[in-house]
């Protein structure tokens, strides 16, 4: 899922500049399987951050992709319960873990709505 072949169609709809698209594809192709394995291992073994969430006292927006299996909407709701500021949890429909790339207009709209609230 993290190779150029998987992301090229998505990127083509977002990057109109051919040189930018080629540069991003080169970044994907430069990633080796070993680097990917190390990144996944780091994600899976990172320490719990619940203590930090209990300290958040500012307006907060948590955003999750509807189809995100790495950080599901349910996990975001659970995180929200730990934050005293009582954050808004926004689920972006028809998106996964890379919701900012998959649905940039929807993500931006949620930010703008919260700012002008």
d(CA 90, CA 88): 6
For residues 10 and 27, membership in a common domain is answered with yes
The total number of structural domains that make up the chain = 2
d(CA 46, CA 55): 19
Q: What is the pLDDT of residues 55-64, one digit of tens each?
A: 999 989 999 9
For residues 35 and 85, membership in a common domain is answered with no
Query: Range of 37's domain?
Result: 1-46
Q: What is the pLDDT of residues 22-46, one digit of tens each?
A: 776 777 666 666 777 787 788 889 8
Scanning the structure block, which residue is given the tokens 């780091």? 42
Which tokens is 109 given? 């709209």
pTM of the predicted model as reported, rounded to 2 decimal places: 0.65
Q: Are 11 and 102 in contact (CB under 8 A)?
A: no
For residues 88 and 38, membership in a common domain is answered with no
For residues 63 and 104, membership in a common domain is answered with yes
């Amino acid at each position: 899922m993290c190779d150029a072949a998987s992301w090229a169609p998505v990127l083509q709809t977002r990057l109109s500049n051919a040189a930018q698209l080629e540069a991003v594809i080169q970044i994907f192709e430069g990633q080796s399987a070993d680097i990917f394995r190390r990144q996944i291992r780091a994600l899976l073994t990172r320490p719990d951050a619940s203590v930090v969430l209990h300290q958040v006292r500012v307006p907060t927006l948590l955003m999750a992709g509807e189809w995100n299996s790495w950080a599901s909407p349910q996990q975001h709701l659970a995180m929200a319960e730990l934050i005293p500021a009582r954050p808004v949890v926004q689920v972006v429909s028809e998106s996964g873990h890379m919701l900012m790339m998959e649905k940039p207009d929807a993500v931006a709209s949620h930010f703008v709505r919260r700012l002008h609230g």
